[in-house]
């Protein structure tokens, strides 16, 4: 398993950010498509990509890709793939599936056929009639898109947004991967002040702190592929050692998270503590109306309520109007606001410098970006 192809799956709209992260890890032949980034790598990349990618949903090992318009084609071509090179005899290998604009639209049938093909391939190699599936998990996916079947194995286990620090969340928690993407899209740097005045359970400030000190987001969790016997344990040890060597634990940061609800702020503090970044973030229970700073320049990044329920809409619109008035006073700051409200700019009172369409779960949202003036360059001593 020395020369492999990996797929970093992604929320729609974040593919370019994921590709930037993949390239920053040193991997080449990067191909960006809707919802995924494919790249060439070695087996150590399975470890490094899982540990380091902040904005990807999960890492899949690509086993093969081919055209299939009949069940016979799907079976024979899936059977011909090198499953015995990847799956040990005791592997647990459930098969998931999805089909979009394909002749083979029955997902359950496709799953059953691929399962049978893998079993037949393993029977021949291991000279066994049946398999206990009592060993490590190799979750296979057959994905059909316009009659092209892509077969992959999930290396991550739980999605990469599960960093391990969310002890509890607010009513509508922002996924960690999306929060990290908001910080990256805003081009925030560790020497810039950052405020989230509607921080909820603290996801944006925590992800910013991890970025600011270059702490690998997967450092505190495990992955399905750590149990795979075909990835030497030493590769995982080396990859985890790298996360500690590259972390800049002495880097001071200026990050503030505020929210009107003291209970939510308590949750944010607990979450930050679980990830070891609580000393880097100043959390405070404070209403938006009291937002203030002595800093001349900085970035506000926030994910305010969307007002999806009709009963909440008027209250949310009042909040947006208040945001517009309060943020206007910070005329040298930049603002980055995620919301699903189609008339946000009108209510906020200013047209965005740029906006980007993203998805928060199944909700289509826009990331409104308001650019402030560049801070003056510091004089060199």
Q: Within the chain, which residue ranges are assigned CATH 3.40.50.150?
A: 176-213+248-370
Structure tokens given for 217: 């987001």
Backbone dihedral angles phi then psi of residue 195, each to the nearest 5 degrees: -130, 130
Identify the CATH number of the domain defined by range 4-154. 3.30.2130.30
SS (H, E, C) the chain: CCCEEEEEECCCCCHHHHHHHHHHCCCEEEEEECCEEEEEECCHHHHHHHHHCCCCCEEEEEEEEEECCCHHHHHHHHHCCCHHHHCCCCCECCEEEEEECCCCCCHHHHHHHHHHHHHHHHHHHHCCCCCCCCCCECEEEEEEECCEEEEEEECCCCCCCCCCCCCCCCCCCCCHHHHHHHHHHCCCCCCCCEEECCCCCCHHHHHHHHHHCCCCCCCCCCCHHHHCCCCCHHHHHHHHHHHHHHCCCCCCCCEEEEECCHHHHHHHHHHHHHCCCHHHEEEEECCHHHCCCCCCCCEEEECCCCCCCHHHHHHHHHHHHHHHHHHHHCCCCEEEEEECCCCHHHHHCCCCCEEEEEEECCEEEEEEEECCCCCCCCCCC
Cα dist. 354→177, 180, 351 in Å? 21, 19, 8
Cα–Cα distance between 251 and 272 in angstroms, integer? 16
The per-residue b/e assignment along 229-265, b for 16 or more CB within 10 angstroms, e otherwise, is eebeeebbeebbebbeeeeeeeeebbbbbbbeeeebb
Residues of the chain with CATH 3.30.2130.30: 4-154
d(CA 250, CA 190): 12
pLDDT digits (tens, 9 = 90+) for 34-84: 999 999 999 999 999 999 999 999 999 999 999 999 999 999 999 999 999
* Tens digit of pLDDT at every position of the chain (381 positions): 678 999 999 999 999 999 999 999 999 899 999 999 999 999 999 999 999 999 999 999 999 999 999 999 999 999 999 999 999 999 999 999 999 999 999 999 999 999 999 999 999 999 998 999 999 999 999 999 999 999 999 999 999 999 988 765 445 579 999 999 999 999 999 999 999 999 999 999 999 999 999 999 999 999 999 999 999 999 999 999 999 999 999 999 999 999 999 999 999 999 999 999 999 999 999 999 999 999 999 999 999 998 767 668 899 999 999 999 999 999 999 999 999 999 999 999 999 999 999 999 899 999 999 999 988 877 665
Architecture of domain 176-213+248-370: 3-Layer(aba) Sandwich (3.40)
| φ and ψ of 171, to 5 deg | -60, -40
Is the pTM value of this prediction over 0.85? yes
Distance CA 102, CA 95 (A): 18
Give the residues across from 67 on adjacent strands: 148
Give CA–CA dist 352/370, Å, rounded: 5
What is the spatial distance between Cα 60 and Cα 13, in angstroms, rounded to a whole number?
A: 19
């Amino acid at each position: 398993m020395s020369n492999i192809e990996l797929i970093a799956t992604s929320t729609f709209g974040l593919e370019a950010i994921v590709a930037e992260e993949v390239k920053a890890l040193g991997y080449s032949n990067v191909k960006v498509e809707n919802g995924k980034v494919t790249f060439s790598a070695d087996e150590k990349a399975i470890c490094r990509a899982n540990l380091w990618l902040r904005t990807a949903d999960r890492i899949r090992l690509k086993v093969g890709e081919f055209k299939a318009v009949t069940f016979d084609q799907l079976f024979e071509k899936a059977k011909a793939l090198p499953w015995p090179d990847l799956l040990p005899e005791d592997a647990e290998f459930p098969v998931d599936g999805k089909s979009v604009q394909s002749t083979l639209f029955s997902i359950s049938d496709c799953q059953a056929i691929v399962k049978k093909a893998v079993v037949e391939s393993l029977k021949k190699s291991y000279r066994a009639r049946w398999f206990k599936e009592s060993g490590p998990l190799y979750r296979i996916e057959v994905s059909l898109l316009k009659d092209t079947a892509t077969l992959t194995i999930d290396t991550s286990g739980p999605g990469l947004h599960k960093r391990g620090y969310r002890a509890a969340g607010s009513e509508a928690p922002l996924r960690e991967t999306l929060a990290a993407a908001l910080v990256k899209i805003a081009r925030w740097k560790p020497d810039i002040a950052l405020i989230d005045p509607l921080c909820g359970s603290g996801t944006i400030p925590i992800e910013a702190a991890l970025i600011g000190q270059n702490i690998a987001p997967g450092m505190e969790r495990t992955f399905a592929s750590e149990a795979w016997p075909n990835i030497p344990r030493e590769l995982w040890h080396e990859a985890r050692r790298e996360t500690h060597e590259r972390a800049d634990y002495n880097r001071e940061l200026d990050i503030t998270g505020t929210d009107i609800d003291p209970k939510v702020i308590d949750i944010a503090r607990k979450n930050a503590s679980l990830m070891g970044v609580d000393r880097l973030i100043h959390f405070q229970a404070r209403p938006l109306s009291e937002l203030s700073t002595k800093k001349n320049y900085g970035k506000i990044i926030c994910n305010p309520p969307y007002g999806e329920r009709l009963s909440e809409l008027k209250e949310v619109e009042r909040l947006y109007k208040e945001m517009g008035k309060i943020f206007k006073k910070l005329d040298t700051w930049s603002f980055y606001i995620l919301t699903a409200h189609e008339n946000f700019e009108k209510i906020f009172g200013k047209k965005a410098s740029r906006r980007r369409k993203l998805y928060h779960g199944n909700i289509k949202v826009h990331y409104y970006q308001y650019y402030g003036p560049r801070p003056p360059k510091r004089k060199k001593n």
